[in-house]
Amino acid sequence: MTNTIKTALLLGLLSAVLMFLGEAFGGGQGLVFGFFFAVVMNFGSYWFSDKIVLRMYRAQEVGPGHRLYEIVAALSQRAGLPMPKVYIIPDPSPNAFATGRNPQHAAVAATEGILRLLSEDELAGVIAHELAHVKHRDILISSIAATLAAAIMMIAHFARFAAFFGGGRNDDREGSNPIALFATVLLAPIAAALIQAAISRSREFAADAGGAAIVGRPEPLVSALQKLERGSKQIPMDANPATAHMFIVKPFSASGLLGLFSTHPPTEQRVRALLHQG
């Protein structure tokens, strides 16, 4: 299945969730509102999802002369990719992600924490992983999923307040429908998490392999993943759960229900796969 078809399916599925939310919350009028909101979100997600996510993390663009920029430039040339924009995220937690709608409009972002934690070779392994996502054209689907999942979670959050104050669907025969509203509150974040997990986990293995191929050996990425696993637990990131699948390692420790919908394969599995490849 091509990424274009997957993108269309993702937009359609998340649009259906938005319409379900609208119908459960406001009946026929809510369904119409959900439909128009889905149209606006789809348009905005396709064209502006990268900018939305970068702004969410207060990312600042850097240029030639910066350590990160020079690493990205060298690896992009080696991978045969257009030079992406390069951003620094002012956060002490070590992590990185790529975003954009295609290789010609891509961006790579890394936290201040990862620049402090990793050696030059290890950082190159991480950046090569992110460039592999760009090369495989994963970034559009990933960015759209983040934007729409964030919207679903936001609406579910509003629904929680409506349920608390006795709101919900209302018509002449049925009156309020708290069951539908509570189902909405429960199902919306689960649906978003399931979608993220479905689009992300297998792609991490492919990006790991692609990143190792760009660098020429797997050891730098192996070492980086092991350091990032420890570092992200010591300094968890205050990340929006809707964007967790975009990062090279899980930006926070999920427990309970969130742990069932992990957006990343276990780091030890990724390391084994890389070493086996090497």
Query: Among all residues, which ones are annotated catalytic?
Result: 130
Beta-carbon count within 10 A of 150 CB: 21
The C-alpha atoms of residue 118 and residue 116 are separated, in whole angstroms, by 6
Q: 238: helix, coil or strand?
A: coil
For residues 97, 98, 100, 104, the Cα torsion angle rounded to the nearest 10 degrees is: 170
User: Residue 193 has which token pair?
Assistant: 């998490």
Q: 235: helix, coil or strand?
A: coil
Torsion over CA: 25, 27, 30, 31 (sign): positive
The C-alpha atoms of residue 71 and residue 67 are separated, in whole angstroms, by 6
